[in-house]
Every structure is written in C-alpha cells, then in structure tokens.
Amino acid sequence: MNPLAPLGEFEQLVLLAVMRLEGEAYAVPIRQEIEGRTSRRVARGALYVTLDRLEEKGYLKSWLADATAQRGGRAKRYYEVKPAGAKALEYSWTALRSMWEGLEPRRREA
C-alpha cells in the first residue's frame, strides 16, 4: 500500500515535465513541455494551482531566482521534484502498468 497521496493524471504530467526540464523548470517552460508533448491545452491557472498543491503535498520544492529585466524585474519560481514526488510517480507508473498487464493486445487495438 502506498503511504503517499495518490496522483491525478495532470499532477503526473506536471511532475514529469518538471523532471524533464532538469533545473530549468518554471511555469512557462513546464506549460510548453506538457503542451508540446501531449498536444493538449494547459490552462495557466490550473498549472499554478497544481504546482502549489504538489509543493504542499511535499512532492515539489520551489525557490525564487533573481529578478530579470525580461520579466519586468520579476523573479522566476523554479521547481524541482523531491524524492517523495519521484516515489509517488513511480507508484503511479507501477499501478498503471500492473493494471495493463495482460491487456497489451487490447492497448494495441485501440
């Protein structure tokens, strides 16, 4: 049994995007990453809310970088996946994979 709070689908996408961006993860590229890979629109509001919730669950940590002129003197908030986040992702992946077990032909049909 997983002691961690379960992840929603969008939460998984966000965590994976943060992981892929390796230290360059703030809201703008995270959104681009998800949109580019999944071809689905990501509402800004939903992304910020999800990032904040994941941080509160202890799956992400964030910090403000230095302010830059390109952003009207406003700082970026960078995100990084914490070990608990990676574990929760791993759990979701395992759960999904075990549910698919034996159903591969059906998956290929679809």
Tell me if 76 contacts another protein by CB under 8 A: yes
Phi-psi region of 6 (alpha: psi -120 to 50; beta: other; left: phi over 0): beta
Of the candidate residues 36, 64, 86, 93, the single one contacting another protein (CB under 8 A):
64
Q: Do 14 and 30 contact (CB within 8 A), yes or no?
A: yes
Of the candidate residues 44, 61, 90, 95, the single one contacting another protein (CB under 8 A):
44
Nearer to another protein, 75 or 103 (CB): 75
Task: Give SS3 for 17.
Answer: helix
- Helices 9-21 and 27-38: angle between axes, nearest 10 degrees: 110
Of the candidate residues 10, 16, 19, 77, the single one contacting another protein (CB under 8 A):
77
| Residue 9 beta carbon to another protein: minimum distance, rounded to whole angstroms | 19
CA distances from 78 to 32, 52, 57, 101, 107 (A): 15, 12, 17, 37, 36
| Residue 19 beta carbon to another protein: minimum distance, rounded to whole angstroms | 19
Instruction: List residues binding another protein (CB under 8 A).
Output: 26-28, 43-46, 48-49, 52, 64, 67-68, 70-72, 74-77
